[in-house]
């Protein structure tokens, strides 16, 4: 029988402690939309470089229409999260190499305009009646079309930086043991790529395109499941605080939401549907796509919420 009990009566500061969970819904929304944007941009760039614009029309031309919107909404959520909002411009008066948030701010400064230019370069092709009204805009459009391939390379590269950054933003905090794993950068990138593929897949009307996207998505889901197992194994083999962090998902308070909504409904079940579809069964594409999109969102919420209750013990 345990003879010893440990009581810690910690701080009791009404306006400080309840607020140390300082990140609320804005951050997971922002991380999710950033990942989604990265996923769409990556594959739009990839299929452009592979000269598949015709076969993969939705992925290259239509899905990127979601990106500027996703980024603007994401950035607005981030802005709402700031407590000293009038000073947000301070992000852009300095470059802090050691701060992931500084990397992210500057990446978004490059990615967001690029996503607008990409969409603009396809306006006339997709909407023949579109008119830029000003001659200078027409000239700019011609320039954008001419350099589309360079833009595709830039988009792929920046999409990887953006996707990895959404994970590193969390993993850089060693004070929150659940986040403090280097797997998180690549895991959030993979999840972002998967949600991007799901969005393109949902929008596409071409059977061939959906098949290609669905195969890629299955690979992403496979990698994601592997990385999640990898992450939990890493925690269980680490120190006390990280073992406790892993137990939030292995019997603790986030177990149900994590396994049901992220793993089963967000990854395993849609992957099964995708396999069935590839085998010839008819499954409406919106079902796996929607499940993947919701699973990715829940995953961000779970990680941000759960991470903030993990801490060093002393």
Partner 1 sequence: MRYAMAIDTKKCVGCGDCVVACQTENNVPHGYCRDWIVENVVGSYPNVEIELRSERCNHCDNSPCVRCCPTGASHIVEGGIVKVTHNMCIGCGACIQSCPYDARYSHPDGYVDKCTFCDHRLAKGQSPACVAVCPTNCLYFGDLEDPNSDVSKALKNRKWKVLAPEAGTKPQLYFLT
Residues contributing to the site for partner 1 (CB under 8 A): 3-11, 13-17, 19-20, 22-23, 81-85, 87-88, 90-91, 93-94, 96, 98-102, 104-105, 172-176, 239, 308, 311-314
Residue 13 CB, shortest distance to partner 1, in Å, is 6
Distances, alpha carbon 83 to alpha carbons 22, 165, 206, 308, in Å: 10, 22, 46, 18
Which of 198, 148, 119, 185 shows the shortest CA–CA distance to 45? 148
Residue 181 CB, shortest distance to partner 1, in Å, is 15
Which one, 91 or 220, has the nearer CB to partner 1?
A: 91
Residue 162 CB, shortest distance to partner 1, in Å, is 16
Residue 305 CB, shortest distance to partner 1, in Å, is 13
Residue 89 burial (CB count, 10 A):
7
Which one, 96 or 205, has the nearer CB to partner 1?
A: 96
**128 vs 112: CA distance, rounded Å:** 25
Which one, 6 or 256, has the nearer CB to partner 1?
A: 6
Which one, 4 or 280, has the nearer CB to partner 1?
A: 4
Residue 26 CB, shortest distance to partner 1, in Å, is 10
Residue 20 burial (CB count, 10 A):
11
**Sign of dihedral through CA atoms 208, 209, 212, 213?**
negative
**245 vs 252: CA distance, rounded Å:** 9
Which one, 4 or 279, has the nearer CB to partner 1?
A: 4
**For residues 203 and 173, is the Cβ–Cβ distance under 8 A?**
no
Q: On the CB side of 108, how many CA atoms lie within 13 Å of its CA? A: 27
């Amino acid at each position: 029988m345990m003879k010893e009990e440990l009581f810690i009566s910690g701080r009791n500061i009404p306006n400080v402690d309840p607020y140390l969970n300082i990140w609320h819904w804005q951050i997971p929304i922002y991380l999710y939309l950033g990942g989604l944007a990265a996923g769409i941009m990556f594959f739009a760039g990839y299929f452009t470089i592979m000269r598949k614009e015709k076969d993969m029309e939705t992925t290259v031309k239509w899905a990127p229409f979601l990106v500027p919107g996703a980024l603007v909404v994401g950035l607005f959520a981030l802005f709402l999260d700031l407590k000293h909002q009038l000073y947000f411009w301070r992000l852009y008066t300095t470059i802090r190499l050691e701060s992931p948030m500084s990397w992210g701010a500057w990446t978004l400064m490059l990615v967001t305009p690029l996503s607008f230019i990409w969409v603009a370069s396809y306006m006339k092709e997709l909407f023949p009646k579109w008119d830029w009204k000003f001659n200078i805009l027409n000239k700019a459009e011609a320039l954008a079309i001419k350099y589309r391939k360079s833009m595709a390379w830039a988009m792929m590269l920046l999409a990887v930086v953006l996707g990895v950054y959404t994970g590193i933003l969390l993993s850089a905090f060693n004070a929150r043991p659940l986040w403090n794993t280097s797997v998180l950068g690549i895991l959030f990138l993979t999840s972002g790529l998967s949600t991007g593929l799901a969005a393109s897949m949902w929008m596409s009307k071409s059977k061939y395109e959906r098949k290609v996207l669905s195969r890629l998505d299955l690979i992403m889901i496979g990698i994601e499941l592997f990385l999640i197992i990898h992450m939990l194994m890493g925690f269980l083999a680490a120190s006390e605080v990280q073992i406790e962090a892993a137990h939030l998902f292995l019997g603790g308070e986030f177990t149900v939401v994590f396994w049901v909504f992220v793993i089963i409904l967000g990854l395993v079940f849609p992957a099964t549907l995708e396999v069935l579809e590839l085998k010839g069964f008819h499954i409406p594409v919106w079902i796996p796509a929607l499940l993947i999109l919701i699973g990715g969102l829940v995953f961000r919420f779970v990680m941000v919420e759960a991470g903030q209750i993990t801490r060093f013990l002393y």
